Amino acid sequence: MLFNPRTYDPTHLDAESRRLLRATVDFFEERGKKALMAGYLERGWYSDFLDFAAKEGLFATFLTPAADDPQTRWDTARNAALSEILGFYGLDYWYTWQVTVLGLGPVWQSANSAARAHAARLLADGHVMAFGLSERGHGADIYATDMVLTPAPEGGYLANGTKYYIGNGNVAGLVSVFGRTPDGYVFFAADSRHPAYHLIGNVVAKQMYVSTFELRDYPVREEDVLHSGQAAFDAALNTVNVGKFNLCTAAIGICEHAMYEAVTHAHRRMLYGKPVTDFAHVRRELSDAYVRLIGMKLFSDRAVDYFRSAGPDDRRYLLFNPMTKMKVTTEGERVIDLMWDVIAAKGFEKDTYFDKAAMDIRGLPKLEGTVHVNLALILKFMPNYLFDPIALPPVPTRHDAADDEFLFRQGPARGLGAIRFHDWRIAYDKYAHLPNVARFREQADGFTILLRDHAPTAEQQKDLDFLLAVGHLFALIVYGQLILEQAELTDLGPALLDEIFAVLIRDFSAYATDLHGKTATTDAQAAWALAHVRRPVADGSRTAEVWQQVVGLVGAYEMRP
């Protein structure tokens, strides 16, 4: 189930998408591992990759909506595939793609046809984009922007202010900049090559360029304005809904490459006269890492379907988006840590991919919103999700060559608490015969009892530390639902699926124990927490079957020198 450059052929996509994805893989494989490592260690700007992307029209083909070029489309399924590939070869390559996605968000949501046409031309010419939202003093707090536009005597505006932590800000053909005029918020298009655009430097010691720049009397014409007022505010949030989804596939790609390295090294490493993988604790840790990674892929693949099937009356994707940003990326950290415990000092060696993965995987849960921010967002959906389901048509697997145009007309970024969901129990009921799915379902049902009989008090609802413990428990139920839905769609083997839920049972028990220990937890809530700690159902044959899948990764992929 893991991406393998040796065998990769995305037959579920159209011919041109397959060609471009395969060409991307071949670009990295032909460069080889030595060049990949050197770029990372020397922090060299990846102009060769951007030259390749420009020559192939990669970003233009994948990131231009069909409305702006009938030969292209914005297709979340193939964008996710490319995001995973770029993560597989390194976070830096993924990052230049990711911030181009974000930079385009306000443009494709705009009714400014001239700006849209300009962006499409820039993409066709091989340019990358940037998203000028964050500022040093208050991060991505869009209520407090210090980028100020004042009316210019000759018409339009003059923009003054500094942006911070802006990827691609050194070369972006178009920077979508968030600011404010005397009348309210505004998004406008800027060009990093303009003399009034002053690049200050790279704020990170990385191959990627995460810039800080200053606009000094930068002229903003009416045709440069993308959004004004409430629409600019909405465009900022809706861009994050579209663009930050890619964090999950980056984490998956990073973990996949690291896993090939780690499992192969551990199995070939002899200790006390036998392979390291003969030790029981090593098998457990590598198996846990493997099933967690498969869970990440199942959830993320299924979330793609909800994104692509979204519409004004179905906005369930707005729950699954912060889930991918928070849950999938933190699972990625756990996958790397489990493997690192096995390979130990090998994980520090500079000629490995693993030491880069161990460094870079930390950044994903922290990009544009930390774990607690996304958990707080997830909690807004909890009442309707758990207690007030409605009948909704099934969401199919979406690999069709369609343009996901709704993502750029999401409308006002509010009303999350009113979004409705289908009954989460349906997915669980279909797998009630698997012992660990059934046991996790007991914990999930118990969670609804906690909220019904021992609901957080008014004081507890003001205590974010307490609410985050509740949020982790809720997130596991959502996570399990989409894993089960994707397992059914892909005929996932029962042993692997039940082993995934053995991990989720342990995680639920750990979060319940954490809730038990919170100062704000009442005695009744603490008693509930202890009563819902569970052990997974053990099955030696199931564990052995999954272990054989892990061993099957040994030597399955090693990057050419």
Same domain, 379 and 293: yes
Residue 84, domain extent: 15-124
> Would you say residue 65 lies in a domain?
yes
Same domain, 119 and 137: no
The CATH number given to whatever domain includes residue 382 is 1.20.140.10
10-residue mean pLDDT profile of the chain (561 residues): values are 95 95 98 96 95 97 94 96 98 97 97 97 98 88 88 95 96 97 95 98 95 98 96 93 92 98 93 90 97 98 98 95 94 98 94 96 80 88 97 96 94 88 98 98 98 95 93 97 98 98 98 97 98 97 97 96 90
Single-letter amino acid code for the residue at 281:
H
The CATH number given to whatever domain includes residue 189 is 2.40.110.10
Same domain, 153 and 267: no
Q: What is the CA radius of gyration of the chain?
A: 24
Of the residues 124, 156, 182, the one at which a domain ends: 124
Single-letter amino acid code for the residue at 48:
D
Same domain, 360 and 495: yes
Pairing mode, strands 129-132 and 157-167: unpaired
Of the residues 124, 153, 188, the one at which a domain ends: 124
> Would you say residue 397 lies in a domain?
no
pTM (2 d.p.): 0.96
Same domain, 327 and 464: yes
Phi, psi (degrees; rounded to nearest 5) at 66: -60, -30
Rounded CA separation 369/363 (Å): 11
> Would you say residue 381 lies in a domain?
yes
Of the residues 159, 194, 228, the one at which a domain ends: 228
Q: What is the pLDDT of residues 151-170, one digit of tens each?
A: 999 999 999 999 999 999 99
> Would you say residue 6 lies in a domain?
no
* Per-residue pLDDT, 413: 77
Q: How many domains does the chain have?
A: 3
Rounded CA separation 160/348 (Å): 44
Nearest to 144, CA basis, from 129, 158, 133: 133
Same domain, 340 and 474: yes
Q: What is the pLDDT of residues 12-69, one digit of tens each?
A: 999 999 999 999 999 999 999 999 999 999 999 999 999 999 999 999 999 999 998 9
Rounded CA separation 47/208 (Å): 11
Same domain, 171 and 120: no
Same domain, 21 and 110: yes
The CATH number given to whatever domain includes residue 114 is 1.10.540
Rounded CA separation 341/46 (Å): 32
> Would you say residue 331 lies in a domain?
yes
> Would you say residue 491 lies in a domain?
yes
Tokens of 431: 């797998």
Same domain, 323 and 443: yes
Separation of first and last alpha carbons in the chain: 25
* Per-residue pLDDT, 226: 98
**Burial readout 116-145 (b: 16 or more C-beta within 10 A, e: otherwise):** bebbbbbbbebbbbbbbbbbeeeebebeeb
Rounded CA separation 198/218 (Å): 10
| Residue 130 near residue 170 (C-beta atoms within 8 A) | no
Same domain, 135 and 120: no
The gap from C-alpha 469 to its chain's centroid, in whole angstroms, comes to 22
* Per-residue pLDDT, 429: 97
For the packed helices 91-108 and 76-89, what is the interaxial angle rounded to 10 degrees? 150
Q: What is the pLDDT of residues 106-124, one digit of tens each?
A: 999 999 999 999 999 999 9
Rounded CA separation 36/88 (Å): 11
